[in-house]
Amino acid sequence: MNFKTFFRLLSVILVIFCLYSCNKQVKNEDLPPLGNSIKNSIVKRQGQTYFDGSKIVFQDPETFEQEMNTIETEQDAEMFEHKFSYYTSYRSKYYQINQKQDTLIDEALSSVLNSDGVVQIGDWVFKLDMPNEKVYVIGNTDTDGNYQDLVSGNTQNSKILEFSTDDNVIDLLKEGVKTQSDNRVKFWGWFCRRAGCGSRQQMSKRMLITSNTELQVTSWYRKFGVWFTFSSIARYHRNNNMPPALFNERGFSQNVSFRWRVKCTNRRGEGRWTSNPTLYFQLVTGNGGSNALESIYQYRKYAYRGVSGLMLLDMDASYSYNGISATNGGVFPVTATAPRIFCDNQ
């Protein structure tokens, strides 16, 4: 056998060996590349916010706060809910029964709570009972077999912790908790013991009423245990025939100053709003034609929204509407100012 023939034979043998080895390697893969890609994509998505078939799960309080601050209107709430197949929120269930008369829960919170009023944030699962101003909590690894006790607020179950909606519940859980024999919660560590502001909600309201017009201005601090909001609201209500086309949104003006500080931290804010407010809710009833039997226009803006309560809050709010003159719509200019809302527990 000459050298050229030997070299050709050796090359053929090497090619056959390589093909066999590559084929064997592919067959011994634990998962095909596409399967790995899909699996990693799901894990990454679930690492932030996802629906586990029962409730919405947020990776941590920071993710929860970020998501909540993207939900301000009913349309925002619907968009959030529609991201999760087969999910029924507290908002959709309650609104169907009570025609949107739930004043205890805002749009953002009611959209992330399931129909039982439950949500998971980090390692904890929360049940909000706003009529009784309670928050019930269980570790996420203990929900199997104990979920109904959580929903019913059964504190005879030693795994269920009970808080008030006045509490900074998430901050306290970060600090560490233990329970007494009667299942009341005590806290480890050095979490700030200073009182926060307000009860479940602290409100300052002023209403100005003319013969057919009502302008209500509210400064509102609300406490939900895991979620706290500080806002200014103006509600214009016209209760007789007014052509909707005559309503001039630019006729609304605001003069709102505020400041706040989160409990036991240096996180704070202040500001002043003087531009035209943004309309976030509108309801016009009547014959659907040129006139309306009733018209409601509502404005709202948040000074603060977060998972921790406030130890300082201060707001002066005044709104005016002069978009329609007495000659063309029968509405005189109106102005209403809410009494100052103030609390300082620094």
Joined tokens for residue 332: 């005189």
Residue 190, CB-side half-sphere exposure with 13 Å CA sphere: 0
The 3-class SS string of 243-266 reads CHHHCCHHHEEEEEEEEEEECCCC
Q: Could you please report the per-residue DSSP string of 69-83?
A: TT--SHHHHHHHHTT
The pTM for the full model equals 0.77
The whole-number pLDDT of residue 94 equals 73
Residue whose structure tokens are 């016009």: 284
The whole-number pLDDT of residue 102 equals 43
Enclosing H/E stretch for 93: helix 90-98
The whole-number pLDDT of residue 10 equals 58
Strands 56-58 and 118-121: parallel
The whole-number pLDDT of residue 125 equals 97
The whole-number pLDDT of residue 28 equals 31
Residue whose structure tokens are 């959209």: 111
Give me the residues paired with residue 203 across strands. 220
Contact 268, 261 (CB under 8 A): yes
The whole-number pLDDT of residue 53 equals 93
User: What is the DSSP-derived secondary structure letter of residue 225?
Assistant: S
pLDDT in tens, the chain (346 residues): 555 555 565 565 655 555 544 444 333 333 223 222 222 333 334 458 999 999 999 999 999 999 999 998 888 999 999 999 899 999 887 765 444 444 556 789 999 999 999 999 999 999 999 889 899 999 999 999 999 999 999 999 989 999 988 888 998 888 775 555 555 555 544 456 666 786 555 666 666 666 677 888 889 899 999 999 999 988 888 766 555 556 677 788 899 999 999 988 889 999 999 988 888 777 776 654 555 567 788 888 999 999 999 999 999 999 988 765 444 455 567 788 888 999 988 7
Rounded Cα distance, 102 and 295, in Å: 20
Rounded Cα distance, 96 and 200, in Å: 25
Contact 231, 298 (CB under 8 A): no
Q: Domain limits of the chain?
A: 48-187, 201-344
Integer-rounded Cα radius of gyration of the chain: 29
